[in-house]
Structure 1
Amino acid sequence: MNYGKEHVAVYRTYATALDGVRTIPESEFDGRDNTLLGMEVRVQVAGEEFLPSFSEGDNSKVVATDTMKNFIHHHMGEYEGATVEGFLEFVGRKFLETYSQMETVQVSADELPFEERMVPGEDGFEPSDLVFRVADGESGFGHVVLSRSDDGPVVEEQKSGVTDIELVKVKDNSFTGYVQDEYTTLPERENRTLYVGMDIYWTYAEAADALGEDPERYVPPEQVSDIAQVVFDEYDVNSIQDLIYRIGERTLERFPQLESVSFEANNRTWLKVRDDLEGDAKVLREPPRPTGFQQFSMDHSDLEEGTPE
């Protein structure tokens, strides 16, 4: 028994900058100005006092979902932090403090990313402080579940992520050694162009680290995305399963404050039309449906057990 509001788009200009992020070898990312911070929010509330609205048509305890939308919009202006996860915890806490009939609140959001545009400056082109492009690619993700306690609202669950990653590696990818039987028509490929889409999610050992209040303990989506592309570049992987395992391994090594990392990946690899061209050149086409996918989750125990060479 729950209800809520989704697809609540909210934008904030000149939000608090994310400064003091710890850098890693795979990424140049060391923070963001947050001159323009946007996200699409989903809120879901539950509580026994809402039961009469379902069973008797009694709406005396119901907070209209339009009110929830307005509540989210208002509190974006009150939030003094710098991360998607921090805002979700902040607005979820405010819901519980404002409406006593709400026993739990789930709040999630997809970042609505923007990119600075380059404009002429004194020393050549430089990022504009004013003009941004609406980005179509990957974005950060956050999810928190809050409930009541004797000491006030507490975070029961937390998940962060980066979604809609799409990477293409033009060669040095193989797919061999799989089961061959009377149903197999796919040929083994020692060197293929590999196009993979993936969403990467992670949880923290301490949920408070997700909020970004201590930037050195915060894991930015930009850095995890950069890890994915660096690992893809470094290894001749024998499957997408092999690739996501290595990405997860590197992510946990770089961020010991994480509890786990998980993946939803899918294979969008183009099909060969011609490979009789000079050198490594090929002509490729879009694959037909259906599409293969992979799901995987790992934690620090997988590192302790050792990894494949």
Structure 2
Amino acid sequence: MTTNKHREPEPEEGERLMNYGKEKIGIYRTYATPLENVRTIPESSFDGRDNTLLGLDVRIRLEGDKFFKNFKEADNTDLVATDTMKNFVQYQLGEYDGATVEGFLDFTGREFLDQYPQIEAIQLSADQIPFDELDVPTDDGDFEPSELVFRVSQNESGFGEVYLTRGDDGPQIEEQNSGITDLQLVKVKGSSFTDYVQDEHTTLPEREDRTLYISMDIFWNYEDPEDCLGEEPQRYVAPEQVRDIAHVMFDEVYSQSIQDLIYQVGLRVLERFPQLESVNFEANNQTWIAVREEIDGDEDVRVLREPARPTGYQQFSMDRDDLEEQ
């Protein structure tokens, strides 16, 4: 799916684009600090995570005028090797005593700025590598999650990004972006798509009730960027909670389009989390195509196939003004 989760810099007129970094830094930590005391919401049972196994796929970007001589003159005297960046990030996961992806990125970014004065700004982002708990039998014949064994998951994952600059009082978060990515949802019925433009180029039939399959990335920004760190868990928005809002709204709403569904999810996220400034979506329509319908006279029974390329996508942003207009 097309995604713009990494916020790339846009140089002002007359300024050049100049940065470099390292990506695909895979790191894992066992028995990280648990995330506890998260405020619960009606759509989700999530109130924290054990962090027994924390995996991250990290991307780093450095900025600074002193790196220009490396490009222009092949002068490496101020250059921090990307392999050094990788080692530095991996080491810091053992030093970080917090419980969130964004908190780790902020902690590591500040350490970078302290270690290397030639860095003027740093962007760090990470996808959280998901793991599933596995149930094992107990002595009384019941089942409970294993404390030792996990399954690598192919499901959605949390995302965090922070952009730090040097301020008068030390490093400060200039920008922040949090999210849940690659959320894939299928609704077997209760979704329609009708009344769109019909002309000589239209071949898609209207559907009063369809099986809808979408993949979705959802991102959010806090009014106070410091809230993303999780140091006040009651003000932290967990990716698991936004995921649960999305699937609850998918269940509750008879959507007229994917755009309609996105808007309803965004309203609910902004309603549940007043500490958020905005929420942004990138969705991809992967709806299956019916090859048999109304099998044995039952209109709910269908055989479907995967769609051929190309597929449609939607990008949309919302803020608190959308909520206030309701």
* Superposition TM-score, scaled by structure 2 size: 0.93
SS in 1 for 2:134: strand
Q: Tell me the amino acid that sits aligned with residue 111 of structure 2.
A: K
> How large is the Cα RMSD of the aligned pairs?
0.7
Gaps of 5+ in 1: none
Deviation at 1:2, TM superposition (A): 0.8
Which of the numbers 1, 17, 21 marks the counterpart of 2:34? Answer: 17
Q: Tell me the amino acid that sits aligned with residue 263 of structure 1.
A: F
- Show the counterpart of 1:294: 314
- Show the counterpart of 1:67: 84
- Show the counterpart of 1:185: 203
- Show the counterpart of 2:146: 128
**1:171 equivalenced with 2:189 (yes/no):** yes
Percent identity over the alignment is 65
Segments of 4+ moved more than 6 angstroms: none
Which of the numbers 273, 276, 279 marks the counterpart of 2:291? Answer: 273
Q: Tell me the amino acid that sits aligned with residue 287 of structure 1.
A: P
Cα distance between partner residues in 1 of 2:244 and 2:28: 25
Cα distance between partner residues in 2 of 1:115 and 1:191: 33
Task: Show CA shifts across 1:159-193 (max 9, x none).
Answer: 00000100000001100111111111111100000
- Show the counterpart of 2:104: 87
**1:39 equivalenced with 2:56 (yes/no):** yes
SS in 2 for 1:153: strand
- Equivalent residue pairs, number: 306
- Show the counterpart of 2:303: 283
Cα distance between partner residues in 1 of 2:65 and 2:259: 43
- Show the counterpart of 2:267: 249
Cα distance between partner residues in 2 of 1:287 and 1:43: 36
- Show the counterpart of 2:4: none
Q: Tell me the amino acid that sits aligned with residue 267 of structure 2.
A: E
* Superposition TM-score, scaled by structure 1 size: 0.98
Gaps of 5+ in 2: 1-17
Task: Show CA shifts across 1:126-185 (max 9, x none).
Answer: 100110111111000001100001111000000000001000000011001111111111
Q: Tell me the amino acid that sits aligned with residue 235 of structure 1.
A: V
Deviation at 1:276, TM superposition (A): 3.0
- Show the counterpart of 1:107: 124
Task: Show CA shifts across 1:103-122 (max 9, x none).
Answer: 00000000011111111113
Q: Tell me the amino acid that sits aligned with residue 10 of structure 1.
A: I
Cα distance between partner residues in 2 of 1:40 and 1:235: 34
Which range is displaced more, 116-125 or 234-243?
116-125
